[in-house]
Structure 1
């Protein structure tokens, strides 16, 4: 079963490197403007909030986050590293084995504008399955991915994408797929787009 999502490239100010997803592990943790207790408190993030790691500096981690912008609409700040944990480790620790997904395929195919070398659009194909037979009838899967687009002038632009899709379970050993279609904004003149990281996890199910 496939579901197609038409989306524009959205641009966010984070470094173009392999993506590492982190989860906030404590209630009401402060995000600060600068690393250290002297940094201005921007806002609070609650336990379970998903963020993207930008860089480490001593005992502090600079993070990119969505859904809780401060008054100045900032989506980047610093949090003490002790309150963050790698998302894969959190999912594995808190999810029963029968509800974990296999990660089978992550493939990015892009088309060029006719007669040019500029990227017109891309199709991100993600394939996954259930690790064990849990007797489920339907599953709901959320996938996030981080792409990096390179412009004609050499600028590297991170491109986060996200989609949730529901599948009917035909057999426990079957594979399920998600396609995320993206159209490039022509004004950016993109030379190429690469897949830096992705994640898919079960967010709902019925028996």
Structure 2
């Protein structure tokens, strides 16, 4: 298409927008102050109206973005409970050193109805959970599982044998609590309730709720 001269462009605008000069009344004041031919003002007004109409069409039916859905708290599994018990047992064993050398063996018992205010533990630790816990704690002590039995203190002939008693995991909303007791060195008992939180793929002790110790 040949390039139009200024006069030819003016004639084209007049022919196109001659019927829309009344729209010039709706232009901003800054535009009206300029000395522009009415037909050119009409052209600008039509373009402004068209632009507004296209914007409105683009907005029709456009819904505001929905807020992101809250991430549901994952349901704790049997593997999670094994990791929580492992974290509490590891923390307790690291806090108590056996009388001589490293732990030779640690017997794991489940909380029994021992006449105290601690309720008995629920479902027993499964074979899969035992295997996972034994593997994870192997660098600290070999674990043995004895089920629901009242703990007997280690003999004085070998005070490197400990007895750990664990209870059910208690859900506290954004974290859980795990209680463990360790009987060691013939006549000592160390008890702790730990705050355990889900961090990445595992569970980590992030605080101590309570501790106590006793001799008999």
- Above 0.5 in TM-score? no
Q: Larger radius of gyration, structure 1 or 2?
A: 2
Of Structure 1 and Structure 2, which has the larger fraction of its residues in helix?
2
Structure with the larger RCO, 1 or 2 (CA within 8 Å, 6+ apart)? 1
Report TM bin, short chain: under 0.3
